Amino acid sequence: MTETDDKKPLNFHQMELDDRILKGIAKLGWLCPTLIQEKAIPLLLEGKDVLVRARTGSGKTAAFSIPIIQQILTRKVEAKEQETTVIVLAPSRDLCLQTAKVMEALTIKCGRLVRCVDLSAKVDKAALKHMLAERPDVVVSTPAKLLAQLQEGTLNVKDSLKTLIVDEADLMFSFGFESDLKAVLDFMPSVHQSVLASATLEKDVLELKKIILHNPVILKLEEPEIAPASQLAHFHILAEEVDKAAVLYTLVKLQLVKGKSIIFVDSIDRCYKLKLFLEQFSIRSCVLNSELPAKIRCHTVSQFNQGLYDIIVASDELHVLDPAVKEKKGQNKKKMLKQIAKQKESEAGVARGIDFQFVSNVINFDFPKDINSYIHRAGRTARGNNTGSVLSFVSVAEKDMMDSVEDHLKSGYEQSETVMKSYQFKMEEVEPFRYRARDAWRAVTKISIREARIKEIKTEMFNSEKLKSFFEENPRDLQALRHDRTLHTVKIQEHLGDVPEYIVPDSLKHVTALTTKRKKGYVPRKRPAASDKSNNPLMVEGIDYGKQKRV
């Protein structure tokens, strides 16, 4: 059956949830449920099988986490022994860790009453065996990790499992988990509640639905792939390589970009090139690097969500091998396919599912290669009930793809006017910024990028492994560990960190709050005052940058 009932919107406190869960929700700052949460939570509380289809950032993780915690608390009242009653499957370690953290946050007021174990985490085998022996209420895992524990007999849910959840179901088959997933089902009881959560309803998901679900409710919400135009604004700037860097430097340094931002590029090397470029102007940022352990990546996102830093440079196309390419001579085909699956897992880390919170801006420094990539990047902002904006830098070579995205957005928003509005930027008015940016961009060489990658990997691996036990005993020191520190593989010129007042366009002096260092007796060159608004170098269709809400 398909859910089509239009009921009066419910709030969290109207869903008959335990007070401890409501306190956890309040601590997370969730004021009201998203559409998918409002529809799914009551159905899951009733014990129905549900197929949830909703766009990225709609709140699917909380939509299934809240009701299963409520069910666990209800069962605890009459339970005679501790049992594992819920299994959550996700296609990557990043998503598993994220789900476990959501569970932990929602049960913060439940004490030790609800326990959750993440099998995907790198934990000593003996320690993992001990954790499973305690029969945690919830087990979060990838299919392969779960199957290994079921086959070894360290986990037995044949008689205790009540609910099975498969998150990001559309990625399970593409990651090569088809056989593992089917094998896992043999260890499950014949009767249990099942939930499939997915951003799409492709052929593989429908096949999985036949295997797992029984007479399910299908929640296919009639909503756009991304947030509506009233919630998410789209802008673009036509610029080539060096001009992209100059525009970004100008927007960030003059504080015209407000709030937290994710800057997307098309490779890991480009991530480091942009970080090293910004570093020369004393602009701190961190790279979301797929080469680092999942725990470090999630820690980076966690600190970003907490507001420790405002800029993340990320890539969602991370050197994924093409299966159609002929394997090299002597290369094991099975090994090659595993490598592809592993790299796809890394690729999905940023583009899909990772829970970035309160992101104001997504900046496409490199325009995405296809429409889906644009949709998933844009999904990092305007999540839930929040607002946001997407600003894309577009070169001549990328113009055709931008036109394709524009046509797709028009059909999605069902409107004829332009969706990706032009963000006019008169480079001649900020020529000193362009001059500085050109030299700084050229200073970032391939050698400095390679050295930066090696340096960060060594440092983070040391932090992750050598200091693991120390951080377990001293969690406050872990919070102090930052990922936006400077790499110093490019020569830093101290004066570039300041912006002299004389290079700031007159039209922007009233919207910037810059501190400048001047030599004693220095007198800046005066610039003629702007006579009218039309000469403003930073205008978007007649709107002054300083009056815009966000980018």
pLDDT in tens, 296-315: 777 788 788 878 889 999 98
pLDDT band at 528; cut points 50, 70, 90: very low
List, as one string, the DSSP characters of 139-156. EEE-HHHHHHHHHHTS--
Identify the three-state secondary structure at position 117: strand
Of 63-67, 83-87, 117-121, 134-138, which range is least confident? 117-121
Enumerate the β-bridge partners of residue 391. 235, 363
Strand-pairing partners, residue 311, are 261
User: Is the confidence at residue 102, as pLDDT, over 90?
Assistant: yes
Q: Where are the domains of the chain?
A: 14-220, 232-319+349-444+490-517
Q: Is the CB of residue 315 less than 8 Å from the CB of residue 267?
A: yes
Give residues with Cβ within 8 angstroms of 71, minimum separation 6: 45, 47, 85, 86, 162, 163
Comparing 357 with 545, the larger pLDDT belongs to 357
Q: With a cut of 90, say whether residue 441 has pLDDT above it.
A: yes
Which amino acid appears at position 383 of this protein? R
Mean pLDDT of the chain: 80
Query: Of 252-266, 403-417, 483-497, where does mean pLDDT reach its minimum?
Result: 483-497
Helix (H, G, I), strand (E, B), or coil: what is residue 173?
A: coil
CA distance 131 to 110: 19
Which pLDDT score, from 0 to 100, does residue 300 have? 83
Q: Which of 96, 20, 109, 30 is nearest to 63 (CA)?
A: 30
Residue 326 — pLDDT band, cuts 50, 70, 90?
very low
> How many residues does the structure list for the chain?
551
CA dihedral in degrees (454, 460, 464, 469; nearest 10)? Answer: 120
Most confident of 51-60, 84-93, 195-204: 84-93
Over residues 76-101, mean pLDDT:
91
Phi, psi of 262 (to 5 degrees): -115, 120
Distance CA 484, CA 487 (A): 9
Containing 380, the helix (H) or strand (E) segment is none
Q: What angle do CA 277, 356, 195 make, to 5 degrees?
A: 145
Query: pTM for this one?
Result: 0.63
Geometric angle at alpha carbon 109, from 157 and 15, rounded to 5°: 80
CA distance 389 to 398: 20
Structure-model confidence comparison of residues 520 and 98, the more confident one = 98
pLDDT exceeds cutoff 90 at 137: yes
Query: Which residue would you say has higher pLDDT here, 230 or 48?
Result: 48
Checking if the pLDDT of 18 tops 60, the result is yes
At 250, list the tokens. Answer: 């100008």
Amino acid at 39: K
Is the pLDDT at 372 greater than 80? The verdict is yes
**The dihedral sign for the CA sequence 302, 306, 308, 310:** positive
Q: Which CATH class is domain 14-220?
A: alpha beta
Q: What separation in angstroms does the CA of 185 have from each of 139, 174, 182, 214, 489?
A: 15, 19, 5, 14, 51
**Quick one: pLDDT band at residue 186, thresholds 50, 70, 90?**
very high
CB 256 within 8 A of CB 235: no
Q: What is the predicted pLDDT for the residue at 301?
A: 83
Q: Which two tokens stand for residue 79?
A: 């339970």
User: Counting beta carbons within 10 angstroms of the beta carbon of residue 247, is it exposed (0 to 12), middle (13 to 18) or buried (19 or more)?
Assistant: buried
Q: Do the strands 388-394 and 359-364 form a parallel or antiparallel pair, or are they unpaired?
A: parallel
Per-residue pLDDT, averaged over 402-428, amounts to 87
Above 70 in pLDDT, residue 294? no
Please state whether beta strands 163-166 and 193-198 pair in parallel, antiparallel, or not at all (unpaired): parallel
Beta bridge partner(s), residue 392 = 236, 364
> For residue 128, what are the CA distances in angstroms to 95, 114, 123, 131, 163?
19, 18, 6, 5, 22
Q: Which CATH superfamily is domain 232-319+349-444+490-517 in?
A: P-loop containing nucleotide triphosphate hydrolases (3.40.50.300)
Q: Do 232-319+349-444+490-517 and 14-220 have the same topology in CATH?
A: yes
| CB of 165 closer than 8 Å to CB of 141 | no
Amino acid in the structure at residue 341: A
Burial (0-12, 13-18, 19+ Cβ within 10 Å), 25: buried
Quick: pLDDT tens for 535-547: 433 333 333 433 4
Residue 421, SS3? Answer: strand
